[in-house]
Structure 1
């Protein structure tokens, strides 16, 4: 760093007089700062000659006639005269000039050309402080010009790590106050404020006779909005639209997409939105006009309102810009404010699925019913579950009340009340117990003949559609091979009977006290179930999930070592649903159950040398959010000689009420028994005291009786996975427009070995300067058709000069690994008329 001291000056002068040729060096000390010191200055290879204002002719004569061999420093304690008044001008042509003012020292030290020295001189006050000066040096600017000197000074004021005007603006608007901004005050102190506003004009097109930070921000946000609005911006905003749209979009995109600064963007967006009266102005636009606008959070509220209104009207075919409602929800949820409204978008996606199922029409024979449920209908139950899972996470659901009522009506009246009677008609027919594998045959069908240790995880009340979600998740584990098949639970579909049926047994019966016995053993607790299991497989054990979930590696291994079969009992869903005060949490419990089981499988396979797992359930459930009304309850039953539950009655005689079917218990369980199971043929319940109002099971319905069986094989060791890659489809070699669209393709669908990956796409110079906005793309498509994995990205380029001799690149970065995927070279061939004039 340049310092103004006499020793340094003498050292620099001595270097000037090295060599064999005679040298004359002129030093005009404009302010005579060193006049007193010159008497003591001694140079190693030169003499000091003091120039006076009136001895120029003599000086010229002296150097060219009297002493033509000695080196001289010609010191003048006054500014250099104008050429017309300087009689030594021709002598100076074959001499050198020396500068010892701070600006000159800095310029020489930094390698700044003489023609830019005036910029340093103008702002010399800035360099009076060592820390500020050091910050300027630390920017390591190369190839100085007037602009990057000023940007460097501004960067040093803002304490940035790089010489970047965009970074200066970011710090000014995010770290300083809008009204009394400390950075602008600091700039003003060093006469840099004018340069700041001039650069704002050059970079962002912000022109203002009385510039302010607030109006700069309004210009940025309005210009950004103008790009994505499908019509003119509001009249009151038009004066703020800048011609440098590409630069503005690149700047705000980088701000909103940054994990470090996205919260700053949100705060500034809310501030500008208030001043622009965004709610009043944007409410006048059609949803199609704003569907791609992402500047303000209020846009999402308008889009959500439109989707909700369409759904309430059951207009499931409605589109915006050729996107259906599912595509709109997916697109908007991935945009900047999507994280704020992700629960609402997810809720609406699932509402769409349910409303799309209005006017449901099912099949009549058991085989068709099962096939349709396994391939299609389960998704309605999943959508209903997901709808409430996300609905319950929204703080204020007032605007969705009509939608919730519609969802409830369609799910209950048009779906359940159509499907369940068809199911029960078929169930009571001759094919009722032959289409699906029966739960009572589970052990022989899935466990008995396995030659390797098998862990059976029984999750209480995990119905088929929940198991299907676990299946989809396990498929994405590269170490996992998984098969899913449906199985018919026992009837009544309740825990004690289902748990007993899943055990190996020769006999399965419900005695007159309605307790369930397998092989004559009462198995309503862990000890009884283990006794039955060990009667068929001595090297076996039954454990509770809660007892092993947190075990350390050695303790876990000790449980499994030497075992052939391990039954693990998991109770997350039923435990929550069966309690009146927590039954509305049952869908949260489903999500937790999926994660707990997945984690347990991975833990056991990693730590206990066990690689085969079977996940199943004792029964499913029906959940409806609305409280059961009196009209949904079947009366006229009594419990004197019967076991009565909300969804079933077991007794010696049939129930002859309307809406009730009867079937022999012995027929269902495969043994001789004269007891009868009576059950509602719809989703209604028997009128009994106690119990919950929303969560029920025990009866006959696909939701209660179709249960999942997941057969899982975990690979030993580690299986390699790779990220879903993307590549450029458009063969673009030259960029000729400030706004350019390019097509890409996700190379292969997401699968168990190909993982969802997030990419950042941006154009950069060979000097790593960003010259476009940054796009974010989530490669998560599972489409097998490659044509459906093609997507388009639009890039907005900075409106600036581009050097045709320089290389520019499209850079694609894996955001998860922070690694560059590829770099595609392009030529920038843009017409640019602006220049930087001061």
Structure 2
């Protein structure tokens, strides 16, 4: 045994040269006599010590030596005369008993011997020592810390944790009475039950809780109830759980600290849902919400709680959308690790609530003049289309579909689709009636017309201009694109609108957007100056016939170009770029239900290419427009929405219009020259409002070509870059209720309070932890707050800041956030908040 002990010392301490061993009782004399360890020289100190000293310093200076003394270690007084004192101080003494060994290894004081001896059974284990590493020193080694460390060890932690986290783990273990019995036995063995009971008193105001299974379950219920009522000071008489209320603010704060530590612990944060929703299920969400309603400011939302709130939101959404939006907003940023998978579902429901808020704000669809409808649409009605699209886009994602099935929300979404269809029908019936009263005379409407696009925006322009024509980009999507463009701090985009012609189809719209002094008809096709408007080659010919310094290109070809090729292209004064994703997706019956995905992709495509055109290809002006908009209805259309085609012989047949040479004696028939620059004796007939003609082979849910506001109002975004920033920078807020460092790391959540738009510009921030003398003591993070997401979840960011090794002992520090651009010298913090370091050992009493 002695040989193994000596070998372990030299292995543990690689720089060790001489190991002193005092054996006054000569217990190990026999092992010394039989000594054999090839790389350790044995010297028995039965000769003059000065001779031994000489040998150690010269003859054996490169050897490992065991120096055996068959007598007592010198006393304190004798040490002054001990010839080998300097060598002993530079090396180590072999301790055969575990207590002495541990005291020597960790530099504990001699008065710690009894405490070490009391817990040596546990302390001698290396895995225990790793957990207790922060207290195995002369300053922190006391019985309370040892007990706390051993409790942390028995509960499965890798280091000593806060008492609150220990209680959380005990809650988790209550999934079975066997677990609780086992942990109780371990705590009894180290006399730590009373300490845990004091923690229950500190955090939950529970007196002398025996560690019995039923008692722990009762504690979980009290924990859950007080977390739900975190900001409620006084209970209500009809609250069935009011006896569980903790009234002392200090204990409520302790409880919140426990919750915060639990959520930030990656090892078992997912167990929070199990404890609150299963073990503490006797505290139901329904009576709590019924009593306190919107006054509740819960700090966490579990999966089951989210399900309950979602059903509550659904029940009020159509008639109290404002309250529904508030509840959705409260949930976001507070979702537990398990509940985060519901964030897109909540987004979808929140968008639906916004849809109803905007729809309910409409007092009438009856206006006096067509221009009033155009203005009302671009200012108000458009938001209804936007929020429906966003709600449906989220809904159709696979993870949301799983939740919709689980929560049985299909009925709600069917109502949403029905209400959107009713809105489309009611609005466009009145709009079409107004148009009919004005003979569909678009020329009399005091709004820009699509056929005047080139003359208005390009003819007399002195600037190089890129024109992006995105097939099917309707006005509401362009407003979202506008906000996305504003994420570039130098972008100065603005949006306006035009009215297309009817038919509002691709052929007509693309012709209108080319330079023209009139468009001619040729058996269903259009021409300008005798050149067909079909195809890229012809369109470039038409452009160059008006300005030779022009070009046309497909978006798909442009993004494949080398830098030098693209720069050469954009030396032209006018470049038309044709983008086709929305219409290509919607016009195909196989993919029409993915059209809202195509809209999202289109916004990203155009935002990226505009940024590149400005910054890489040196074009200061970009115009973005569309040939037409569209209508999309998710639900299968009923038979009443399909009308028979006109009986008159037609030149062109489509599911949203027909063109004929004779006038059909039918409502919604008008001369084509009323809405276009065609001087032809042709007539257009369109179905009522949003109806379709029965036309084989056409897509039915995605349509365009008619005269609905969604089809005929198209955007014009004018994007430019300027150096000055005239808009204010976006604001942000910390979502953390409490800033606490756990295991050397601080997890923070930041919410960008508003989405980026023309009035609110992005902001770049610098984040770090600083001590009281303003020295940086952590890693740093740069964060861009540039989200254009309408949903709060899309504007919420999380990050982890870690203390540097040399700062691990600070008891507190400051989270400081600076603006990177406005304050490069970091002199004026945007946020400075105190952070408590709970990685340290704290005094509990």
Q: Quote the offset at 1:724 in angstroms.
A: 3.5
Match of 1:676 among 670, 683, 687: 683
Aligned partner of 2:56 in structure 1 is none
Check conservation: 2:686, 2:707, Cα contact below 8 A: yes
Q: Quote the offset at 1:807 in angstroms.
A: 8.0
Check conservation: 2:224, 2:280, Cα contact below 8 A: no
Q: Are 1:443 and 2:443 counterparts?
A: no
**SS in structure 1 opposite 2:494?**
strand
Check conservation: 1:812, 1:821, Cα contact below 8 A: yes
Aligned partner of 1:15 in structure 2 is none
Q: Quote the offset at 1:472 in angstroms.
A: 1.5
Aligned partner of 2:415 in structure 1 is 406
Check conservation: 1:455, 1:614, Cα contact below 8 A: yes
Deviation digits for residues 525-571 of structure 1 (CA, Å, limit 9, x no counterpart): 1121111112122232221122233444344434x243222111111
Q: Are 1:306 and 2:283 counterparts?
A: no
Deviation digits for residues 131-176 of structure 1 (CA, Å, limit 9, x no counterpart): 7657755777572142334445666788977643469849978999
**SS in structure 1 opposite 2:468?**
strand
Check conservation: 1:763, 1:808, Cα contact below 8 A: no
Aligned partner of 1:376 in structure 2 is 380
Deviation digits for residues 385-408 of structure 1 (CA, Å, limit 9, x no counterpart): 122112223225353333333333
Aligned partner of 1:544 in structure 2 is 554
Residues 183, 564 of structure 1: alpha-carbon distance in 2 compared, 3 angstrom cutoff: farther
Q: Are 1:479 and 2:482 counterparts?
A: no
TM-score normalized with structure 1 length: 0.71
Check conservation: 2:620, 2:721, Cα contact below 8 A: yes
Aligned partner of 2:90 in structure 1 is none
**SS in structure 1 opposite 2:662?**
coil
Unmatched runs of 5 consecutive residues or more in structure 2: 11-21, 33-43, 54-68, 84-93, 739-749, 776-782, 789-809, 838-842
For 1:221 and 1:471, locate their aligned partners in 2 and report how far apart those are by CA, in whole Å.
Answer: 49
Match of 1:667 among 671, 674, 684: 674
Match of 2:371 among 367, 371, 375: 367
Aligned partner of 2:261 in structure 1 is 254
Deviating more after overlay: 414-423 vs 236-245: 236-245
Q: Quote the offset at 1:722 in angstroms.
A: 7.1
Unmatched runs of 5 consecutive residues or more in structure 1: 10-26, 52-59, 74-97, 319-323, 733-743, 769-776, 783-805, 829-833
Aligned partner of 1:592 in structure 2 is 601
Deviating more after overlay: 225-234 vs 585-594: 225-234
For 2:255 and 2:814, locate their aligned partners in 1 and report how far apart those are by CA, in whole Å.
Answer: 19
For 1:612 and 1:434, locate their aligned partners in 2 and report how far apart those are by CA, in whole Å.
Answer: 28
Q: Are 1:602 and 2:599 counterparts?
A: no
Deviating more after overlay: 114-123 vs 459-468: 114-123
For 1:334 and 1:292, locate their aligned partners in 2 and report how far apart those are by CA, in whole Å.
Answer: 12
For 2:374 and 2:651, locate their aligned partners in 1 and report how far apart those are by CA, in whole Å.
Answer: 31
Residues 522, 171 of structure 1: alpha-carbon distance in 2 compared, 3 angstrom cutoff: same
How many residue pairs end up in the alignment?
Answer: 717
Aligned partner of 1:55 in structure 2 is none
Aligned partner of 1:503 in structure 2 is 514
Q: Quote the offset at 1:468 in angstroms.
A: 0.8
Q: Are 1:523 and 2:545 counterparts?
A: no
Aligned partner of 1:794 in structure 2 is none
Q: Quote the offset at 1:106 in angstroms.
A: 3.9
For 2:604 and 2:544, locate their aligned partners in 1 and report how far apart those are by CA, in whole Å.
Answer: 29
Q: Quote the offset at 1:332 in angstroms.
A: 1.1
Aligned partner of 1:580 in structure 2 is 589
Aligned partner of 1:697 in structure 2 is 704
Q: Quote the offset at 1:433 in angstroms.
A: 4.1
Deviating more after overlay: 574-583 vs 427-436: 427-436
Match of 1:567 among 576, 581, 598: 576
After TM superposition, the structure 1 = structure 2 runs for residues 161-240 of structure 1, keeping only pairs within 5 Å, are: 163-165=160-162, 169=166, 194=190, 200-205=196-201, 208-210=209-211, 219=219, 222-229=222-229
For 2:170 and 2:773, locate their aligned partners in 1 and report how far apart those are by CA, in whole Å.
Answer: 28
For 1:468 and 1:31, locate their aligned partners in 2 and report how far apart those are by CA, in whole Å.
Answer: 92
For 2:333 and 2:572, locate their aligned partners in 1 and report how far apart those are by CA, in whole Å.
Answer: 47
Q: Quote the offset at 1:627 in angstroms.
A: 2.5
Q: Quote the offset at 1:39 in angstroms.
A: 7.8
User: What is the root-mean-square deviation in Å for CA atoms of aligned residues?
Assistant: 5.5
Aligned partner of 2:625 in structure 1 is 616
Check conservation: 1:727, 1:747, Cα contact below 8 A: no
Q: Are 1:281 and 2:284 counterparts?
A: yes
Q: Are 1:333 and 2:332 counterparts?
A: yes
Q: Are 1:392 and 2:399 counterparts?
A: no
Residues 750, 543 of structure 1: alpha-carbon distance in 2 compared, 3 angstrom cutoff: closer
Residues 827, 497 of structure 1: alpha-carbon distance in 2 compared, 3 angstrom cutoff: closer
For 2:164 and 2:833, locate their aligned partners in 1 and report how far apart those are by CA, in whole Å.
Answer: 26
Q: Quote the offset at 1:239 in angstroms.
A: 12
Residues 123, 192 of structure 1: alpha-carbon distance in 2 compared, 3 angstrom cutoff: farther
